Amino acid sequence: MGRYQNQVVFVPFTAPGDQCLVRIRELKQKFLRATLVQIKKPSPSRREAPCSVFGQCGGCQWQHLDYTEQLRQKDQLVQYTFRKLAAPTQIKTILASPTEWNYRRRIQLHWRDETLGYLKFKSHQHIPVETCHIADNKINDALKQFQVPDSLKCSKYEIGINDSKELYILPMDDEDKPFSQVNPYTNELLLQTVTETLHKSKGLRVFDLYGGAGNFGVIIAERYPQKHVITVETQKGLATLAAEKKQQKSLNNYEVIHSNVEDYLKRTNLEFSVAIIDPPRAGCSPETVRQLLRSQPEDIIYVSCDLMTAQRDLSQFTKKYSIETIQPLDMFPQTDHLELVCHLRLGSSR
């Protein structure tokens, strides 16, 4: 981001401190968009991106920034996004990913002209790839010898590593495909952050909404045997996986419910409890927010991978809740995305 004639200019693939020649390509009322033509003087935080298709592939935006600068920029993004909802002291410093490369345990690739690839940045053009620098090395080994079985032929695939450390390949038209956090290293930090936040609550019932295969629910039930933990998940396959974990670990204080979250909240009293909310990128539906404000759990732990939907949802929750802390985590190094854990406590902040 830069300025030209008192207007903000957004220029992809630049670095803070770069001196650049750019070409304006789009005029908006409040800002301009431009493309990078030449770097006159590079920023001290700029580095050579290791990926040969960086700048073309739409997967990574920040490989050209050293990792310290990436974290600094994400801290600033969070502070700016929540400046009207939380004091700077309530927003903690981002937790770095233990590794910045080869961290993803699943990727999604397009199959065209007998090659696998990503889509070009802001385009539908196919960019073939043989190696992905943010994917686990087992996935990269699979890419080098990838062959499509006749039974799985389609235009898009997910290649990943499951909880048993086994490689899997799934066509993306499979509606019951497994979900897992893409970065298992930062996921450990995420679980630690959520469980430590939960420790501050006196609620003996924990509602794990949008609970998936029990990423939070199972760990919480294990660590807090005095609490009754309920995972609510709309996708049957994920709810089944969570139920299997309950059986494997003999968790008598853990319950799994296959249900739409909105419908479940309409018939459930959450008073004197804790609600953990980990919605899809689109955030909570207006009805989910209404039902949570109606039922008023003592604490809400809101987990999000999208800054703007988190800001939207928290602005509604703060009608009855105060923001205790916002903890960013870097789940997605080399990109402009991150994860948030927000702790809200019943008691209006405004």
125, 150, 171 - which closes a domain: 171
144, 171, 198 - which closes a domain: 171
Residue 84 sits in a domain whose CATH number is 3.40.50.150
pLDDT at position 6, please? 81
In a domain, 93, yes or no: yes
Residue 28 sits in a domain whose CATH number is 2.40.50.140
pLDDT at position 349, please? 57
* Same domain (yes/no): 111, 166: yes
* Same domain (yes/no): 131, 244: no
* Same domain (yes/no): 187, 235: yes
In a domain, 56, yes or no: no
* Same domain (yes/no): 33, 155: no
pLDDT at position 170, please? 84
341, 132, 326, 298: which is closest to 206 by C-alpha?
298
Q: Which two tokens stand for residue 281?
A: 């990128």
* Same domain (yes/no): 210, 153: no
Dist. CA 51–CA 260, nearest whole Å: 41
Q: Picking from 4-8, 104-108, 118-122, 232-236, which range would have the lowest pLDDT averaged per residue?
A: 4-8
In a domain, 122, yes or no: yes
pLDDT at position 151, please? 62
pLDDT at position 222, please? 97
In a domain, 177, yes or no: no
Q: Is 342 tagged catalytic?
A: no
pLDDT at position 172, please? 79
Residue 199 confidence class, pLDDT cut points 50, 70, 90: very high
* Same domain (yes/no): 294, 322: yes
Mean local confidence (pLDDT), 143-156:
76
pLDDT at 51 over 60: yes
Pick 209 or 177 by higher pLDDT.
209
| Tokens 């494997």, located at residue | 248
In a domain, 126, yes or no: yes
In a domain, 308, yes or no: yes
Q: Picking from 57-61, 79-83, 260-264, 327-331, which range would have the lowest pLDDT averaged per residue?
A: 57-61
* Same domain (yes/no): 7, 156: no
* Residue range(s) defining the domain that contains residue 202: 71-98+182-346
Classify residue 204 by its DSSP letter: S
* Same domain (yes/no): 36, 152: no
The percent of residues in the chain predicted with pLDDT above 70, rounded, is: 96
pLDDT at position 114, please? 81
pLDDT at position 227, please? 96
Mean local confidence (pLDDT), 209-227:
96
Mean local confidence (pLDDT), 300-320:
97
Cβ(36)–Cβ(20) under 8 Å? yes
Pick 312 or 349 by higher pLDDT.
312
In a domain, 10, yes or no: yes
The percent of residues in the chain predicted with pLDDT above 90, rounded, is: 78
pLDDT at 184 over 90: yes
In a domain, 285, yes or no: yes
* Same domain (yes/no): 215, 325: yes
* Same domain (yes/no): 218, 84: yes
Do the bridges between strand 228-233 and strand 254-258 make them parallel or antiparallel, or are there none, so unpaired? parallel
* Same domain (yes/no): 88, 156: no
Cβ(264)–Cβ(257) under 8 Å? yes
Q: Which of 20, 51, 57, 305 is catalytic?
A: 305
Q: What is the pLDDT of residues 57-73, one digit of tens each?
A: 989 999 999 999 999 99
pLDDT at 208 over 80: yes
Residues 6+ apart with CB under 8 A from 57: 51, 118, 119, 120, 121, 127, 129
pLDDT at position 179, please? 64
Q: Picking from 155-164, 172-181, 189-198, 262-271, which range would have the lowest pLDDT averaged per residue?
A: 172-181
Indicate the number of domains in the chain: 3
pLDDT at 28 over 90: no
Mean local confidence (pLDDT), 316-342:
97
Mean local confidence (pLDDT), 117-139:
92
pLDDT at position 150, please? 67
pLDDT at 43 over 90: yes
Dist. CA 312–CA 317, nearest whole Å: 9
pLDDT at position 144, please? 87
205, 250, 252: which is closest to 232 by C-alpha?
205
Cβ(327)–Cβ(96) under 8 Å? no
pLDDT at position 3, please? 80
pLDDT at 346 over 80: yes
Cβ(161)–Cβ(185) under 8 Å? no
* Same domain (yes/no): 295, 211: yes
149, 171, 193 - which closes a domain: 171
